[in-house]
Amino acid sequence: MNSSERENIKAAYKATFTKKIEEVSGNCLADASLLKQYQALAEMVMESITSQWAKTNTLYNKNESKQVYFFSIEFLIGRLMKSYLSNLGVEELVQECSAEMGLDYEAILAQESDPGLGNGGLGRLMACYLDSSSAMGMPAHGNGIRYKYGLFEQRIINGEQIEVADNWLKNGYPFEIRNPDKSVIIKYYGQIHSENINGNLTFVHENYEAIMAVPYDIPIKGYRNETVNSLRLWSAEPLEAFDLPSFNQGHFLNAVRHKSEAEAISQILYPNDNGFDGKLLRLKQEYFFVCAGIKRIIVDFKRSNNNSMDGFSDKICIHINDTHPALCGPELMRVLMDEEGLGWEESWKITVAAMSFTNHTVLPEALEKWPVDMMKDLLPRIYMIIEEINRRFLLDLDNEFPHDLDRNHSLSIIRDNYVHMASLAIVSSHSINGVATLHSKILREETFNGFYQVFPKRFYSVTNGVSPRRFLMNSNPELKTLINDSIGPDWDHNLFDLKKLLNYINDPVFYQKFDAVKLSNKVRLANYMARYNNVTVDPNSIFDIQVKRIHEYKRQLLNALHVLYLYNRLKENPNLEMAPRTFIFAGKAAPGYYYAKEVIKLITAIAELVNNDPSLHDKLKVVFLANFNVSLAEIIYPAANISEQISTAGKEASGTGNMKFMMNGAITLGTMDGANIEILDAVGPSNIVSFGLSADEVHHYQKYGGYRSIDIFEQDPRIQQVLHQLIDGTLGYGLSFQAIYDSLLLYNDGYFVLKDFNAYADAQNQVDHLFRNPTIWTKMSISNVANSGIFSSDRSIADYQREIWKII
């Protein structure tokens, strides 16, 4: 495009935008609020996407290519405007025009609410996979729930977490289209009768309670290509809003009761990450989006397939993201048999061929199991089908391993009066995979070993990945520009090309530019902390960052105890030689997770102690940033020097924050857990700092005993001092962290915090030494960016295509 063409386009953009402002606000541009400016821009974006969207759908409706559907109870998509603009290739243009019109581009973008429709890793992974599928021109769609309230907003008041409802829809949401014509009726409760109709045994569902699932579709626009896939989120509504007879009889509350009961199903996201609580409403949610999603897939498939189900599993992949959508198996069976009239054998073949399952956690407390009575009551036909799936599976088992009662019992989908959802997912899928090499190994050898012996060929591994567009190009534009200027722009289509940066690994000029980018990102975060936390930090200090959900296994406690230890060292020796450090934490605790909330309190108490002690001469600062979400994450990762990935080995399935940090040049300080192991493989041992027990060692202690935390306590005066400080008033008058203290000593430190303390302190010391040699540090940092290509979610999607969905 030459410059006069560009000027024409800019003039057209400005005119359209000005007109749009009038349309959405009834005001002229000069009087339009930021919110209206954002809404006008959003409408323009939707207008430029929808025709491509329609074209993509027409193509898909021809039924030529295989379609993947991600069923997930969470999609943590984050703000979309920047992605849309950049994927359309118009971001610079919009930025320039905004500036010329005197508008604040960043402030306009900040008007968008951040849809928190997920808790953490699992939900964010789905968003990255949708982003990558579209970028790669692959037909893949999301199917989930349109929660009216997403994950709570976290405020920190007096050092404690306070939860506030997340009303993300309060100003409307411009990127969704409501499609009531595609609604699906969902049936709960009631009884099942079998009838003989024309010689066929037919199941009839009676006296059920029906509600309506209404889809809202969000376009997922590919990066600079023609593909626009869909994220379909279902909202629950009553069949009829108002019960007129009740109203007329004066029963006003009754008249609307049904409405609020129906709406309750998509009202709120359960705020638990890695912890199962078997609430009826959650089971309703799970069936809700499964039933609605499967129905639409079948309707669309048949319409483009001469009204026949032939070839269904050659054209449709139903991918279940952890066990929350595991009812896809029995639901597909139900539709195939009861509605499409197929027999069991044929339906089962289709179901297993269509379904694949990814597991995301090995924590036993997260594995879903539903009480038989609850399932039977709420979903009578589904329960019948699960019983039959199980009966046939146990028969097969008995043929293969005769009289092996223990095995039969431990693999039974229904056992001890519960329906075990992982077992259901495994039996009804053709593939099961973990999310990192170590995690997949643990699934095969421990968690699902029994199933592995029965179905060895069903087990795969696909290491997670993250979107390089969201977590590098869009959130770290200065680094993007530096990379473009150095190796050219083509790495945007193949992140492995970042390896070309290794050509600069000894180039002092490049070092300077690279360091300047990091510093600029740190200044941005420092400004944020000054504004929201009222803490002044030195942007030249080491930004040592741990951001993720607060959980015992993630061991924020290990980090916090070490900060306290460092504080003690500095108090003892104010001249201690060390690079100044800023320890930054962020993350939400599940509202009912007392212990995790105590950890937040502990961190904020340590921050209070450390930040207000002038004798430390600003060598140490501690900040807890409230309300960690995708938008905040985008500011944090680019500013990090150290990425804390310190879970008890064997517990973190993969981790994806670790990859986002690495892509932005942070050095991983980590245990040999999850994808940290693969980060080590990618960067080499000299570009990572690792420490601590291995997963095998942890496993050994857990199985055979032999670890006594009290022994470590007794032998190590540093640990004694730090643990006493938890309860002796050091951390604030009247503040005592007795529960944490007890977990470490009385209950033998289940997550090996004290066991790993020494190794962690040594590793932190090593970090200090490395950082004080800027040449070595910058080299390490560049190596991390250069070798992060393998952690692009484009690579993960390519792996799924090849191994799991067998596309191309």
Residues involved in catalysis: 360, 548-549, 554, 656, 660
Does residue 289 touch ligand 26W according to CB under 6 A?
no
Does residue 653 touch ligand 26W according to CB under 6 A?
yes
Amino acid at 347: S
**CB closer to ligand 26W out of 90 and 363:** 363
Q: How far is the CB of 679 from ligand 26W (least distance, A)?
A: 13
C-alpha–C-alpha distance, residues 346 and 336, integer Å: 9
Please identify, among the stretches 50-58, 421-429, 476-484, 647-655, the one whose residues bind ligand 26W according to the rule CB under 6 A.
647-655
Please identify, among the stretches 171-179, 359-367, 660-668, 784-792, the one whose residues bind ligand 26W according to the rule CB under 6 A.
359-367
Q: How far is the CB of 121 from ligand 26W (least distance, A)?
A: 3
In angstroms, the Cα distances linking 488 to 65, 89, 399, 494, 501 are: 33, 17, 61, 12, 10
C-alpha–C-alpha distance, residues 656 and 236, integer Å: 31
**CB closer to ligand 26W out of 213 and 442:** 442
| The three-state (H, E, C) secondary structure of 107-165, written as one string | HHHCCCCCCCCCCCHHHHHHHHHHHHHHHCCCCEEEEEECCCECCCEEEEECCEEEEEC
Q: Single out the residue of 652, 678, 756, 794 in contact with ligand 26W (rule: CB under 6 A).
A: 652
The residues pairing with 154 across neighbouring beta strands, listed in sequence order, are 163
Does residue 676 touch ligand 26W according to CB under 6 A?
no
The residues pairing with 68 across neighbouring beta strands, listed in sequence order, are 140, 317
**CB closer to ligand 26W out of 86 and 792:** 792
Does residue 678 touch ligand 26W according to CB under 6 A?
no
C-alpha–C-alpha distance, residues 652 and 647, integer Å: 6
Q: Single out the residue of 142, 159, 238, 674 in contact with ligand 26W (rule: CB under 6 A).
A: 674
Q: How many residues touch ligand 26W (CB under 6 A)?
A: 23
Does residue 273 touch ligand 26W according to CB under 6 A?
yes
For 191, the 3-state DSSP assignment is: strand
Please identify, among the stretches 24-32, 617-625, 653-661, 726-734, the one whose residues bind ligand 26W according to the rule CB under 6 A.
653-661
Q: How far is the CB of 794 from ligand 26W (least distance, A)?
A: 16
Q: How far is the CB of 488 from ligand 26W (least distance, A)?
A: 32
**CB closer to ligand 26W out of 219 and 657:** 657
- Residue carrying structure tokens 């606000």: 25
**CB closer to ligand 26W out of 605 and 695:** 695
Residues 304 to 343 in contact with ligand 26W, rule: CB under 6 A? 322
**CB closer to ligand 26W out of 305 and 694:** 694
On whether the CB atoms of residues 215 and 234 are closer than 8 A, the answer is yes
Q: How far is the CB of 540 from ligand 26W (least distance, A)?
A: 32
The candidate with the shortest Cα–Cα distance to 719, out of 553, 583, 564, is 564
Closest residue to ligand 26W using C-beta atoms: 121
- DSSP-derived letter for residue 320 is E
The candidate with the shortest Cα–Cα distance to 553, out of 380, 366, 708, is 366
**Beta-carbon-side half-sphere exposure of residue 509 (alpha carbons within 13 Å):** 4
Dihedral sign computed on CA atoms, order 555, 558, 563, 567: positive
The residues pairing with 663 across neighbouring beta strands, listed in sequence order, are none
Phi-psi region of 300 (alpha: psi -120 to 50; beta: other; left: phi over 0): alpha
Q: How far is the CB of 68 from ligand 26W (least distance, A)?
A: 17
C-alpha–C-alpha distance, residues 331 and 389, integer Å: 12
Rounded to 5 degrees, what angle do the CA atoms 210, 215, 218 make? 165
Q: How far is the CB of 708 from ligand 26W (least distance, A)?
A: 28
Does residue 756 touch ligand 26W according to CB under 6 A?
no
Dihedral sign computed on CA atoms, order 393, 293, 224, 632: negative
Q: Single out the residue of 333, 362, 366, 731 in contact with ligand 26W (rule: CB under 6 A).
A: 366
Residues 91 to 120 in contact with ligand 26W, rule: CB under 6 A? 119-120
Instruction: Draw the binding track, 530-569, toward ligand 26W (x: CB under 6 A; -: no contact).
Output: ----------------------------------------
**CB closer to ligand 26W out of 334 and 444:** 444
Does residue 656 touch ligand 26W according to CB under 6 A?
yes
The candidate with the shortest Cα–Cα distance to 760, out of 644, 655, 621, is 644
Residues 122 to 181 in contact with ligand 26W, rule: CB under 6 A? 122, 125
| The three-state (H, E, C) secondary structure of 303-326, written as one string | HCCCCCCCCHHHHEEEEEECCCCC
Residues 33 to 92 in contact with ligand 26W, rule: CB under 6 A? none
Q: Single out the residue of 276, 393, 628, 737 in contact with ligand 26W (rule: CB under 6 A).
A: 276
Q: Single out the residue of 78, 115, 121, 293 in contact with ligand 26W (rule: CB under 6 A).
A: 121
- DSSP-derived letter for residue 647 is P
Q: Residue 316 contacts by C-beta under 8 Å, 6 or more apart in sequence?
A: 66, 67, 69, 297, 301, 354
Q: How far is the CB of 272 from ligand 26W (least distance, A)?
A: 5
Residues 416 to 445 in contact with ligand 26W, rule: CB under 6 A? 435
If you count DSSP H runs as helices and E runs as strands, how many of each does the chain have, helices first? 33, 23
Structure tokens that stand for 306 in this block: 């001469």
* End-to-end Cα separation, the chain, in angstroms: 36
Instruction: Draw the binding track, 253-272, toward ligand 26W (x: CB under 6 A; -: no contact).
Output: -------------------x
Structure tokens that stand for 11 in this block: 């003039």
Q: Single out the residue of 468, 655, 670, 789 in contact with ligand 26W (rule: CB under 6 A).
A: 655
Does residue 654 touch ligand 26W according to CB under 6 A?
yes
Q: How far is the CB of 70 from ligand 26W (least distance, A)?
A: 13
Rounded to 5 degrees, what angle do the CA atoms 126, 132, 138 make? 105
Q: How far is the CB of 469 from ligand 26W (least distance, A)?
A: 18
Does residue 468 touch ligand 26W according to CB under 6 A?
no
Q: Single out the residue of 133, 229, 274, 440 in contact with ligand 26W (rule: CB under 6 A).
A: 274
Q: How far is the CB of 548 from ligand 26W (least distance, A)?
A: 9
Does residue 464 touch ligand 26W according to CB under 6 A?
yes
Please identify, among the stretches 6-14, 646-654, 703-711, 765-773, the one whose residues bind ligand 26W according to the rule CB under 6 A.
646-654
For 656, the 3-state DSSP assignment is: coil
**CB closer to ligand 26W out of 460 and 528:** 460
Does residue 368 touch ligand 26W according to CB under 6 A?
yes
Does residue 476 touch ligand 26W according to CB under 6 A?
no
Q: How far is the CB of 274 from ligand 26W (least distance, A)?
A: 5
* Secondary structure (DSSP) of 45-69: HHHHHHHHHHHHHHHHHTT-S-EEE
On whether the CB atoms of residues 330 and 357 are closer than 8 A, the answer is no
C-alpha–C-alpha distance, residues 87 and 652, integer Å: 32
Q: Single out the residue of 39, 285, 361, 611 in contact with ligand 26W (rule: CB under 6 A).
A: 361
C-alpha–C-alpha distance, residues 228 and 216, integer Å: 15
Structure tokens that stand for 488 in this block: 């050219």
Does residue 238 touch ligand 26W according to CB under 6 A?
no
Please identify, among the stretches 26-34, 311-319, 527-535, 650-658, the one whose residues bind ligand 26W according to the rule CB under 6 A.
650-658
Does residue 670 touch ligand 26W according to CB under 6 A?
no
Q: How far is the CB of 717 from ligand 26W (least distance, A)?
A: 35
C-alpha–C-alpha distance, residues 1 and 155, integer Å: 48
C-alpha–C-alpha distance, residues 778 and 775, integer Å: 5
H or E segment and range at residue 636: helix 630-636
Length of the chain: 808
Does residue 360 touch ligand 26W according to CB under 6 A?
yes
C-alpha–C-alpha distance, residues 85 and 92, integer Å: 9
**Which residues bind to ligand 26W, rule: CB under 6 A?**
119-122, 125, 272-276, 322, 360-361, 366, 368, 435, 464, 652-656, 674
